[in-house]
Amino acid sequence: MVQKHNQSGRNVNRRQVLQGVGGAGVIAVAGCLGNGNGDGDAPFEVQLEVNADNDDRVQMVELIAESMEQTGYFDTSIETYEWNTYVGRVLDTEYAENGHIAAIGLSGTFNPESFADALHQSDNHGQCCNLQGISDDELDDLLEGARFDMDVVEDSELRAERYDEIWQHLAENRYSSITHFDLLAPVISADLHGYSTYPFTEGLFDYGLYAPQDEQVSWLDRDEGSHPDDTDLGDLEEGGMLTIGAGANVDSFDVPYSNDTTSTMAQEFIFEQLVTSDADGNLYPWLAEDYELVEMQDIEREDYEDYMISVDADEDGVLGTDEQVIIQHPDDNPFTDDEVRVLTPDEAADAVDDGTFGMQFQYELREGVEFHNGEELSAEHVVATYERYENSDLSAQTFDSVLHAEEVDEYTVNLYAQVPDAEAERELPGVYIHSLEQADLEGGDMDPRQGNDPVGTGPYEFDEFVDEQYAEYTKFDDYWVEQQGVDSIDWYDGPAEFPDGPVVEEIEFEIIPDDATRSGALQNEEIDATFGLASGTLDEFDQSDEFLVEAVEAGSYDYIQYPVNVEPWDDSRLREAVNHLVPREQITENVFNGWAVPAWTDVPALAEELGTVDPDALEEQIRPYNEYDPERAEELLEEVVDDYDL
């Protein structure tokens, strides 16, 4: 539910997941005690808060607190909360008045915005994840200008320049300190050959098994003595059952009514989208054979005013309509106004008919794509899918950019964006196409627990699911790539021996919540692959011949955010000083045992292509702000103490 309110910063799979529970889910509820050495005479007293179930994050916060204490300027205490309590607490708008430093994690995407906007954009206060009520008009404008602007849609160089301005602005103001970027490091047994890692957890295995855009395929070879390092495509073997260990239950197979990473991972074997992405974030037509941007107009959200209808709003800001609200008039406030002007799907269609829209993309669907229930993909499926996303758990992140989906003919669909949007190409088609048979199911019903086995166009068919235990899949015989051949995909220019579809015959998706148990299961050869193991053990797996650790820099990151609206934290020198006390090197080396990347800038490798003109120059420019430098910190603190007469 959290990410539902996130207006931006989505990844390819339209999932914005707060990186919460890290490990074995060790319990802890609110607890409080001074750091033991607090003698009460330090000028600044501050409480750091963190969710208790992520051991690494707790350790990181302890380290930051200790580093602050050592200057003698701070009296710190750490309070931990159970995850759900914590999220409820920090997303409350009143949290900003407490004056605590909050630590949390977030999952970013190829879109550089996801490393700035969610944290800092003023509209995201009380939503995800501007926890401290940061409200910086200049920054808001910069963020808007780097995405919703016709110029940047057409000129990606200009877009990168604008992001460079944002990073500089953030470095000077330091509302938050991003500490590190995670490495995604699945551990696989040496029986799995050809595997490579996708930078987002939910795509780890669906991508690893088959992704012609990167000529990626993996296969099982259980022969002793054959090691993945020594084999290539020529040694490919078909068949076998791949057993994957996942750390959480599959909450639901119903795509628009689930938003956790594990559910998405379990769904991605079954469902596909109009486009697909390679590991660098480049897009390729997939279920659509081709697509193009037909038209772009300089439209703002206010321009839909003529089409809007008025609906009641009660004192809690709840709107009196059952329809999906696609656009709400920017001047209206549902909390203070009795009536609010909104655009719902019907009016959106009218607006599009009259030529009012930000962008128009046209998708030519591939013919002869078969669903697991025998239906053939058509424009109707696409339109029905968008309808099912209305008022779903994913509606907010879908209809922040999508205006309308329109069937042109059997194999042609138009998708419209509300305003010019540099991310529209990625954002608009980001839905998993449903079968017509299931397009009318009630929310949450597309799930074996409700008696409906999920049906999609994907390479694997759903077989069986036992709640909290396992899910099983078998290869779909009529998978369209297999039927039509990978060579029929016009952008494919890889080797001829590359298979037409994944070669592993069956997938067993085991649910084993405890990290340690999963680690044990992998070593006992009960499972072939898993992820999310304790970083302390990864080196050992890496050094072993029987396992491979394929790490890539991922989009998820941790940050601490300062209470910028509470004195003395409104003084940027204080925030700058604490930022110099964040020992990024030690965090990655000692807390994460080297399995993380220090955040010297706010933009990870993943988003560098779109997010900066020159990554090296950016690092040179920003890194001095983020170095661990207690001396500089103490200078700044002394200044602040003098100024405030503390």
Write out the binding residues for another protein, residues 87-146 only, by CB under 8 A. Answer: 87-89, 91-92, 126-127
| Distant-in-sequence, close-in-space partners of 617: CB < 8 Å, separation ≥ 6 | none
| DSSP character at residue 591 | I
> For another protein, which stretch binds (CB under 8 A), given 21-29, 163-171, 358-366, 409-417?
21-29
313 lies in the site for another protein, by CB under 8 A: no
220-249: contacts with another protein (CB under 8 A): 249
82 lies in the site for another protein, by CB under 8 A: yes
338 lies in the site for another protein, by CB under 8 A: no
80 lies in the site for another protein, by CB under 8 A: yes
Shorter beta-carbon distance to another protein: residue 29 or 496? 29
For 223, other C-beta atoms within 10 Å of its C-beta total: 10
Q: Which two tokens stand for residue 274?
A: 């109009």
Q: Look at residues 17, 23, 9 and name the one whose alpha carbon lies nearest to residue 51.
A: 23
> For another protein, which stretch binds (CB under 8 A), given 109-117, 255-263, 286-294, 513-521?
513-521
40 lies in the site for another protein, by CB under 8 A: yes
- Choose which of 230, 316, 322, 645 interacts with another protein (CB under 8 A): 316
* Nearest-approach distance from CB 78 to another protein, in angstroms: 6
- Choose which of 192, 351, 433, 521 interacts with another protein (CB under 8 A): 521
595 lies in the site for another protein, by CB under 8 A: no
**In the block, which residue shows the tokens 């934290």?**
569
Q: Is residue 150 exposed (0-12), middle (13-18) or buried (19+ Cβ within 10 Å)?
A: middle
Long-range contacts of 343-350 (CB under 8 A, 24+ apart): 343/304, 343/307, 343/308, 343/309, 344/309, 345/387, 345/390, 345/404, 347/304, 347/307, 347/308, 347/309, 348/307, 348/403, 348/404, 348/416, 349/404, 349/406, 350/307
* Nearest-approach distance from CB 213 to another protein, in angstroms: 32
* Nearest-approach distance from CB 99 to another protein, in angstroms: 19
* Nearest-approach distance from CB 547 to another protein, in angstroms: 7
| Distant-in-sequence, close-in-space partners of 53: CB < 8 Å, separation ≥ 6 | 20, 21, 22, 23, 25, 26, 27, 28, 82, 83
510 lies in the site for another protein, by CB under 8 A: yes
| Distant-in-sequence, close-in-space partners of 631: CB < 8 Å, separation ≥ 6 | none
| DSSP character at residue 132 | T
* Nearest-approach distance from CB 354 to another protein, in angstroms: 31
* Nearest-approach distance from CB 131 to another protein, in angstroms: 13
568-587: contacts with another protein (CB under 8 A): 583, 586
Shorter beta-carbon distance to another protein: residue 95 or 557? 95
312 lies in the site for another protein, by CB under 8 A: no
Q: Which helix (H) or strand (E) holds 625?
A: helix 615-626
Q: Look at residues 202, 206, 188, 191 and name the one whose alpha carbon lies nearest to residue 502.
A: 206
- Choose which of 224, 225, 451, 524 interacts with another protein (CB under 8 A): 524
> For another protein, which stretch binds (CB under 8 A), given 99-107, 135-143, 160-168, 510-518?
510-518
Q: Which two tokens stand for residue 424?
A: 């529209």
> Rounded distance, CA 554 to CA 551, Å?
9
Strands 288-296 and 309-312: unpaired
Shorter beta-carbon distance to another protein: residue 615 or 630? 630
544-563: contacts with another protein (CB under 8 A): 544, 546-547
463-492: contacts with another protein (CB under 8 A): 467
Shorter beta-carbon distance to another protein: residue 66 or 437? 66
616 lies in the site for another protein, by CB under 8 A: no
594 lies in the site for another protein, by CB under 8 A: no
> For another protein, which stretch binds (CB under 8 A), given 108-116, 176-184, 455-463, 534-542?
534-542
> Rounded distance, CA 183 to CA 166, Å?
24
* Nearest-approach distance from CB 65 to another protein, in angstroms: 9
150 lies in the site for another protein, by CB under 8 A: no
* Nearest-approach distance from CB 64 to another protein, in angstroms: 10
Long-range contacts of 264-268 (CB under 8 A, 24+ apart): 264/13, 264/15, 264/202, 265/201, 265/202, 265/203, 265/204, 265/205, 265/206, 265/509, 266/471, 266/509, 267/432, 267/454, 267/456, 268/13, 268/202, 268/203, 268/205, 268/206, 268/458
Shorter beta-carbon distance to another protein: residue 145 or 444? 444
> For another protein, which stretch binds (CB under 8 A), given 36-44, 278-286, 346-354, 631-639?
36-44
Shorter beta-carbon distance to another protein: residue 25 or 598? 25
Q: Which two tokens stand for residue 614?
A: 């020159």
> For another protein, which stretch binds (CB under 8 A), given 172-180, 325-333, 404-412, 536-544?
536-544
> Rounded distance, CA 208 to CA 432, Å?
19
